[in-house]
């Protein structure tokens, strides 16, 4: 039997089982031996019948004195047997398994594993596992003998329990896996390089497989799991590092060395801002400008809590690029955000003769402006035919290749909202093929160290770890259902007053966010219906106030009008879906109400509440959830106590895992069997190991091939 054979080659695996195994993603012999047990039952101790202790798992070996099938008075099928060893006898009982008498006969010697329980006042093993004692494995050859530390599979040992599916039990799997190892022509090839295994004291594959399926003791299980976890994380790290290397092989569309005069221009722009940059913002700008000088294009992730001021960093990056005669494309996740960003850029850059263009689904080409002639000449000379220095838009940008020319920088805002493919497309759309624009992605989702070293390991990360001065933490409560109406009352009182320092006419404002119903990045019709219903409900409750509705399916004029009315204080309560809302800058809003809060990750909730209290006023966040469970409450309560997005992300990572937190598939976080993103030691070790190998990857053709067949795609 070969590893590549389909499972149907295995004895007792017909069409029916082939189909069932497919539910477990097992199609080949190799898949089967890489189907790992999740736990083990410890039946390793073989005891004498007389020394059995009630309730403790144990195995006995004995001769069947008597076995019979019976029907109880109530018509239940029982099988009863008496087994004896040198120390005594024991009753065995099975339920609804009359076929057992076909296998176990009087006079046979068997192993039985179970726990001593009480059966009608008598000590007994109930439904014990059984295995014939005198049945050596049939096709033992020298090569596969080492899988056979013991011939026992189901009893008298650490018995593996596998992920099962309907019609495929652990017992069945154990028997098949054992048979496979007895009939394999060749040992599985170990893809891990020897020097890595030696340096990190990692088991070879063959041993690891033996230990994982047929362990002799707990230590073997541990070593096997360590090896598999190491391998899983090692592949992931190799992928990430290879991505990084591939990026680094590219030539930047522009290496930007600023002249003294240009530096002065940038300083002038910074000096004209209505606020002083925070030190964190300055540090990030410097990191970006340094990257732009390098031989390889920038690939940087700018991370900072909501309201930390990422936009202005992007403005300065774009200005830097414009001074070098190159264009910037800025992709925002929604139209409202694109417009908001456009307004910000306009405000800051217009006085400096930078041409902007807004490209959204609903703003056709007419919005594109022609750039300044002097620069246009320079750009033409470089082969481009630019329309504007900075092009801002939504994903609609992706379909406007003709305007994405002469790109020196691509900025992607709220990067987690875009899929891997969309991002690749934008970077790829630049028509100067042999040169790559610098890439700056921005996110308010905090990146814990474990992710920075894995999924995001191919990116350089800048962090704005400081909020603009004066911004206070948002007071947060998880509100139980029975306090809902009291909560509404409180909100009404708030809405009747003003916290605005400039103008007492501007009353307080509240967001009400409804969660998306389905697990999807995009709003569905169902979501729209839910948010509309909620809107009607709240309109009745808050009848004395102006209530507005905002969702993704509204036409863009309507959306823009609602957002504007909210910004100007004409609307006091805005009911919205999270898709529309994230990133919207409404400085005077101070109350954030979130329905179905359990549906969000903590970092997501933190981002949402980061939307209020932006102008230094007192702000509040009320979290509603119909869930009464302790874990949900505990998780949400973390928001009452913690005020750092990073801290909250860490807590969520622990409680829910990276998949829930970041949308695993979308972000190329693979599903591991044993590796874990909370194991920082493993992450660091495998990263070091991968770094060692990646530089000599060509010396490991097998490894390279293997790597290509692993479909992990970190973003």
Interface residues toward ligand ADP, by CB under 6 A: 275-278, 281, 304, 306-312, 444, 468, 585, 587, 614
CA distance 281 to 278: 5
Structure tokens at 428: 């790829």
User: Closest by alpha carbon to 706, among 693, 715, 687?
Assistant: 693
CA neighbor of 387 nearest in space, from 356, 419, 417, 431: 356
CA dist list (Å): 80 to 61, 102, 126, 297, 378: 17, 13, 10, 75, 94
Run of H or E residues at 356 = strand 356-359
Please state the closest distance from residue 614 (CB atom) to ligand ADP, in A: 6
What are the φ and ψ backbone dihedral angles of 406, each rounded to 5 degrees?
55, 35
583 binds Mg ion (CB under 5 A): yes
Largest CA distance in the chain: 103
Torsion over CA: 223, 448, 577, 336 (sign): negative
Residue 498: contacted member of ligand ADP, Mg ion, none (CB under 5 to 8 Å, by partner type): none
**CA distance readout (Å), 63 to 78, 106, 129, 151, 171:** 20, 8, 15, 18, 22
Min. distance of Cβ 363 from Mg ion in angstroms? 20
- Residue nearest Mg ion by beta-carbon distance: 583
Q: Which is nearer to ligand ADP, 411 or 479 (CB)?
A: 411
613 by Cβ neighbours in 10 Å (0-12 / 13-18 / 19+) ranks as: buried
448 lines the binding site for Mg ion (CB under 5 A): no
Give 20 or 310: the residue with its C-beta nearer to ligand ADP: 310
Report the SS3 class of residue 469: coil
Positions 452 through 491 that interact with Mg ion (CB under 5 A): none
Rounded to a whole number of angstroms, the minimum distance from the CB of residue 337 to ligand ADP is 9
* H/E segment holding residue 173: helix 170-183
Contact partner, 312, from Mg ion, ligand ADP, none, Cβ < 5-8 Å per class: ligand ADP
> CB-wise, 464 or 703, nearer to Mg ion?
464
Three-state secondary structure call for residue 102: helix
The nearest distance, CB 708 to ligand ADP, in angstroms, is 38
Residue among 173, 149, 162 nearest 44 (CA): 149
**Least distance from C-beta 348 to ligand ADP, angstroms?**
9
Residue 380 CB, nearest distance to ligand ADP (Å)?
A: 33
Residue number with CB closer to Mg ion (443 or 494): 443
Query: CB under 5 to 8 A by kind: which of Mg ion, ligand ADP, none does 210 bind?
Result: none
Q: Which stretch binds Mg ion (CB under 5 A): 175-183, 198-206, 581-589, 608-616?
A: 581-589
**Nearer to ligand ADP (CB atom), residue 347 or residue 489:** 347
Considering the complex, state which of residue 312 and residue 639 has its C-beta at the smaller distance from Mg ion.
Answer: 312
Measured at CB, which residue is nearest to ligand ADP?
A: 309
Say which entry of ligand ADP, Mg ion, none residue 277 contacts (CB below 5 to 8 A, set by partner kind). ligand ADP
- Token code pair at residue 635: 């998780």
Nearer Cβ to Mg ion (236/348) = 348
The residues with which 130 forms a beta bridge, in sequence order, are 112
Minimum distance, C-beta of residue 646 to Mg ion, in the bound complex (Å): 17
Give 91's contacts (C-beta < 8 A, 6+ positions apart).
Answer: 80, 81, 82, 119, 122, 123, 124, 125
Q: Which does 90 bind (CB under 5 to 8 A by kind): ligand ADP, Mg ion, none?
A: none
Assigned token pair, 419: 């899929």
Q: Minimum distance between the CB of residue 282 and ligand ADP, rounded to whole angstroms? A: 9
408, two tokens: 């020196």
Q: Which stretch binds Mg ion (CB under 5 A): 224-232, 236-244, 577-585, 679-687?
A: 577-585
State the DSSP string of 24-87.
TT--BHHHHHT---SEEEE---B--GGG--BT-EEEEEEEEEEEEEEE-TT--EEEEEEEEETT
> Out of Mg ion, ligand ADP, none, which partner does residue 275 contact, by CB within 5 to 8 A per kind?
ligand ADP
For CA atoms 327, 330, 331, 336, the dihedral sign is negative
Contacts of 136 (CB under 8 A, 6+ apart): 151
Nearer to ligand ADP, 311 or 441 (CB): 311
Tokens 């209505």 correspond to what residue?
A: 274
CA distance between the termini of the chain: 39
Closer by beta carbon to ligand ADP, 71 or else 275: 275
Q: Which does 562 bind (CB under 5 to 8 A by kind): Mg ion, ligand ADP, none?
A: none
Stretch that binds Mg ion, among 256-264, 369-377, 580-588, 651-659 (CB under 5 A): 580-588
Please choose which of ligand ADP, Mg ion, none residue 597 contacts, taking the beta carbon within 5 to 8 angstroms, the exact cut-off set by kind: none
Cβ of residue 417: shortest distance to ligand ADP, in angstroms?
Answer: 13
Instruction: Report the nearest approach of ligand ADP to the CB of residue 273 (Å).
Output: 8
The angle, 0 to 180 degrees and rounded to 10, between the axes of the packed helices 602-609 and 630-641 is 40
**Residue 308: which of ligand ADP, Mg ion, none does it interact with, CB under 5 to 8 A by kind?**
ligand ADP
CB of 444 to ligand ADP, least distance (A): 6
Token couple for 693 = 């190998």
Q: Which does 585 bind (CB under 5 to 8 A by kind): Mg ion, ligand ADP, none?
A: ligand ADP
Residue 583 or 668 having the CB closest to Mg ion: 583
Question: For ligand ADP, which is the closer residue by CB, 307 or 613?
Answer: 307
181, 160 in Cβ contact below 8 A?
no
In sequence order, the β-bridge partners of residue 591 are 510, 620
**Residue 309 Cβ, how far from ligand ADP at the closest point, in Å?**
3
Positions that interact with Mg ion (CB under 5 A): 583
């Amino acid at each position: 039997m070969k590893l590549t054979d389909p499972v149907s080659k295995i004895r007792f695996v017909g069409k029916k089982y082939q189909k069932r195994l497919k539910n477990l993603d097992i199609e080949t012999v190799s898949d089967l031996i890489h189907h790992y047990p999740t736990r083990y039952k410890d039946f390793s101790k073989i005891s004498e019948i007389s020394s059995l202790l009630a309730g403790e798992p144990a195995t006995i070996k004995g001769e069947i004195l008597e076995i019979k099938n019976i029907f109880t008075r109530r018509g239940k099928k029982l099988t009863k047997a008496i087994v004896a060893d040198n120390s005594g006898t024991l009753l065995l009982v099975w339920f609804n398994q009359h076929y057992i008498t076909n296998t176990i006969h009087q006079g046979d010697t068997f192993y039985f594993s179970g726990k001593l329980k009480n059966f009608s006042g008598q000590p007994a093993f109930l439904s014990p596992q059984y295995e014939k004692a005198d049945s050596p494995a049939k096709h033992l050859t020298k090569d596969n003998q080492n899988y056979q530390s013991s011939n026992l599979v189901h009893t008298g040992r650490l018995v593996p329990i596998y992920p099962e599916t309907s019609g495929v039990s652990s017992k069945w799997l154990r028997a098949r896996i054992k048979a496979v190892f007895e009939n394999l022509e060749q040992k599985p090839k170990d893809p891990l390089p020897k020097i890595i295994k030696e340096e990190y004291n990692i088991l070879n594959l063959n041993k690891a497989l033996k230990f994982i399926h047929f362990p002799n003791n707990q230590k073997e299980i541990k070593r096997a799991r360590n090896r598999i976890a190491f391998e899983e994380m090692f592949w992931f790290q190799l992928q990430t590092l290879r991505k990084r290397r591939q990026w680094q092989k590219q030539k930047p569309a522009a290496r930007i060395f600023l002249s003294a005069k240009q530096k002065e221009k940038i300083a002038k722009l910074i000096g004209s801002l209505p606020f002083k940059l925070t030190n964190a913002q300055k540090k990030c700008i410097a990191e970006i400008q340094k990257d732009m000088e390098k031989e390889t294009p920038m690939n940087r992730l700018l991370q900072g809590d909501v309201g930390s001021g990422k936009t202005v960093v992007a403005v300065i990056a774009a200005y830097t690029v414009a001074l070098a005669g190159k264009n910037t494309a800025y992709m925002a996740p929604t139209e409202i955000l694109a417009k908001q960003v456009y307004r910000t850029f306009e405000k800051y850059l217009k006085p400096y003769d930078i041409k902007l263009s807004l490209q959204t689904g609903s703003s056709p080409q007419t919005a594109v402006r022609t750039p300044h002639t002097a620069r246009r000449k320079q750009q033409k000379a470089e082969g481009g035919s630019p329309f504007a220095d900075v092009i801002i838009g939504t994903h609609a940008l992706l379909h406007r290749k003709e305007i994405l020319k002469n790109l020196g920088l691509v900025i992607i805002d709220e990067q987690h909202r875009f899929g891997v493919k969309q991002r690749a497309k934008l970077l790829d759309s630049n028509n100067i093929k042999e040169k790559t624009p610098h890439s700056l992605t921005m996110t308010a989702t905090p990146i814990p160290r474990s992710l920075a070293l894995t999924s995001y390991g191919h990116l350089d990360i800048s962090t704005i770890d400081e909020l603009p001065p004066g911004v206070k933490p948002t007071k947060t409560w998880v509100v139980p259902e029975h306090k809902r109406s009291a909560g509404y009352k409180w909100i009404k009182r708030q809405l009747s007053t003003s916290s605005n320092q400039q103008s007492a006419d501007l009353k307080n404002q509240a967001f009400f966010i409804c969660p998306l119903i389905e697990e999807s990045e995009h709003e569905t019709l169902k979501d729209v219906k839910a948010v509309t219903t909620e809107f009607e409900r709240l309109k009745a409750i808050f009848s004395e106030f102006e209530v507005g509705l905002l969702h993704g399916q509204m036409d863009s004029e309507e959306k823009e009008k609602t957002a504007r009315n909210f910004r100007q204080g004409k609307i006091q309560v805005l009911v919205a879906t999270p898709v529309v809302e994230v990133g919207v800058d409404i400085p005077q809003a101070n109350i954030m109400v979130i329905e179905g809060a359990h549906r969000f990750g903590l970092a997501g909730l933190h981002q949402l509440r980061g939307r209020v209290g932006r102008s230094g006023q007192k702000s509040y966040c009320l979290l509603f959830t119909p869930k009464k469970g302790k874990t949900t409450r505990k998780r949400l309560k973390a928001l009452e106590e913690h005020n750092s997005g990073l801290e909250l992300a860490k807590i969520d990572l622990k409680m829910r895992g990276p998949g829930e937190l970041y949308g695993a598939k979308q972000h190329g976080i693979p599903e591991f069997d044993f590796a874990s993103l909370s194991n920082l030691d493993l992450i660091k070790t495998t990263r070091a190991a991968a770094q060692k190998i990646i530089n000599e990857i060509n010396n490991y053709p097998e490894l390279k091939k293997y790597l290509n067949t692993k479909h992990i795609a970190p973003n």
